[in-house]
Structure 1
């Protein structure tokens, strides 16, 4: 039956399996989980054929768009992995301001393709991340304060279900499946082969203001920044970062740990962008700042280049997330103590304000939902395999420090291997029950792997 598949079919034990297996994850930290069979789809036509093959051999299916799952959800023990990384096509209709795209198209490439048309899309902050897994998880990306989570801009999704049937789901057609396709993430019970999305006006001017302070100033800095951020308009993306100072902040060695605060305005003109950042122009703590740069004009390429510096290729990573209703004035000092003791200088904590927009109606009627008023994401990043245990322990200890304040997790970046409840706690109880019910209805034979657990 594999002869019906145009793409590559690699079985465990065959020559070439090890290299194919290793290429399935961007993360250099590869979990020791091994599919029995990897199908590298050459086109959408291969998807029904792969599902038929999996069913004929009683293999459960996992999926990969581009391998950027931090916890390695595509790699499961046994079963089949369908690799969609060859599906990168897209079509743009500037008249209707819509586009269709395949799951392995990367956000940076899509944003660049839209720019000549004066259009954009809230793609992810990391340029190489494919849009498939990103959209299925909800999608927290650039300018989502104004545009909402990326899944809010999805109009329809073409899928292949567990019976091998191709169908299109939207609010009007298969609305339950469409609801799940916008937030179920790695637990989605079908193969998404094409997304139909609404496009937005391209911000013709982007400007950024950044302050960095010694990590010991975390409490006053957090108080100032959270107060100032309340006066920022929705089109300004604001975030804290707790990290080791970058070389452009200080040349001191060893480089100190810092708390930085950045506001990025997406506007229609350079003057408007600067006006949007006005609440950040003055800072009562500025004499303590190690670094201060205001109203710096940027391009999307600049933004992507900067983010690539924080998450470089060739490194080992473990990540987790936490939604909370507790203020940053409480959360960040607790996290700063962890950052100060991080075994790797590359590890950091990111705390974006309103990562999915202050307007919660933009997250309605989809599996993804905002589960708290505040959000933090610790990243353990290192390069020495001998340090795996120390850095993984650091991440888990950091999460335990703020666990009492947890109201939920974000499924795209939750450490699903940390605790069996991580996936469940990424949804409201009602949404979790609905997802489980829909999984049974659309995949009664349990063809697709569900959420990764320890």
Structure 2
């Protein structure tokens, strides 16, 4: 098969082109970049045909699976935009606790199907995000502090390489390409058509705590969060979200929400794992305080998505850091002072210290993760809000270890997302598997 899929490819002058291009970007700030052709693949043969077409015509390829991709790395001027979001098959083998899943499968959909069989996978926190880009860039999901970033649970992948070959890659087959697939993110130099996943028993208990504090208490809350970072039970995700309003708690004033999921074998264990959060020095001034309550993933997904409404405009940036609270607080104060209206928000996540990771391209993380999400509805406000995340992260750049790819802003603020050794190896593996540069690299880097 050498031609593009009939009825599912759109050149720039074709009816349906702009709809197909815009549909590949969840962010309402659709990049003003235009590929020559958009291809909507529905099977592996479509992917092979598209790659061979691009090879024959000397075109570069950007690949989209259906995540948020705030920066729209896959949308480039010229070349091919390959949309694989329709490759959404899912075959679960409960007896072996494995699954074969297409890149277009929604993580929350997968979580629901697994739960029905008492199985679990560290799917992403945002509802509807497909697993393709999520797994390639690392995958910070539910219970990932215990199970590791989700890419560690990728046993193998089915891919189409730059020369149009279909390969299965794992530890024993094309091990170098398998190494690259787990952490290369939007710079991966092949097209994934299926992931082979390791699954886990469903945790018996899913619960949470919830605290809401006045934003004026930031000088007490963040230093305390930093001081306990090494002591937070790995079954707990200590997420601290600051915004100009907390609609879920009925507050239209600025607040700091400490919402922490926990996965455990019993409710007593869950409550004990969360008990450290009762030591916050501002505890008696909390506007809302729920030390422990049963929860489920559906409830968590709904809560998370209140911060990420569809149809809005987004600009994000992030950093990993091991800096002290004294060093971080001036930047955090600046973030809070300049923060746009809700649903824009500032996320602090206690992540590490982490255990030794597997040997893979994913190779950079740190104790604390900070991420900024500029979120607004009106294009007329782009000038006022679009630079908030980038500007504040740039001012704290001297404190960063690097960034993670899920919330990257590499096109506007290049930063390391893998160790120097891993980046050098990625370049070597790319030279072997994509010597002509058929696939786009990361924005901000040739």
Regarding TM over 0.5, the answer is yes
Separation in structure 2 between the aligned mates of residue 328 and residue 256 of structure 1, nearest angstrom: 25
- Gaps spanning 5+ residues in structure 1: where? none
Separation in structure 2 between the aligned mates of residue 309 and residue 333 of structure 1, nearest angstrom: 28
Aligned with 1:38: secondary structure?
Answer: strand
Q: How is 1:14-413 mapped onto 2 (pairs within 5 angstroms)?
A: 14-228=14-228, 230-251=230-251, 255-328=252-325, 330-354=327-351, 358-361=353-356, 363-413=357-407
Runs of 4+ in 1 over 6 A off after TM superposition: none
Structure 2 partner of 1:415: 409
Aligned with 2:311: secondary structure?
Answer: coil
Question: TM-score, with normalisation over the residues of structure 1?
Answer: 0.94
CA contact (8 A) 1:34 1:77 kept: yes
Question: TM-score, with normalisation over the residues of structure 2?
Answer: 0.95
Seen in structure 2, the aligned counterparts of structure 1 residues 181 and 296 have a Cα distance that, compared at 3 Å, is same
Separation in structure 2 between the aligned mates of residue 343 and residue 282 of structure 1, nearest angstrom: 30
CA contact (8 A) 1:339 1:347 kept: no
Post-superposition CA distance 1:273-310 (Å, at most 9, x none): 22221222454422221221221211010011111111
Aligned with 2:62: secondary structure?
Answer: strand
CA contact (8 A) 1:238 1:262 kept: yes
Post-superposition CA distance 1:216-266 (Å, at most 9, x none): 211211233344554432111112212123134344xxx322223232210
CA contact (8 A) 1:243 1:347 kept: yes
Seen in structure 2, the aligned counterparts of structure 1 residues 42 and 452 have a Cα distance that, compared at 3 Å, is same
Separation in structure 1 between the aligned mates of residue 19 and residue 259 of structure 2, nearest angstrom: 40
Separation in structure 2 between the aligned mates of residue 259 and residue 343 of structure 1, nearest angstrom: 15
Aligned with 2:396: secondary structure?
Answer: helix
Q: Shift of the alpha carbon at 1:7?
A: 5.8
Moved more, 117-126 or 369-378: 369-378
CA contact (8 A) 1:6 1:41 kept: no
Separation in structure 1 between the aligned mates of residue 226 and residue 350 of structure 2, nearest angstrom: 9
Post-superposition CA distance 1:402-448 (Å, at most 9, x none): 112011111221102213x33xx111111111111111110011111
- Gaps spanning 5+ residues in structure 2: where? none
Separation in structure 2 between the aligned mates of residue 206 and residue 245 of structure 1, nearest angstrom: 27
CA contact (8 A) 1:88 1:105 kept: yes
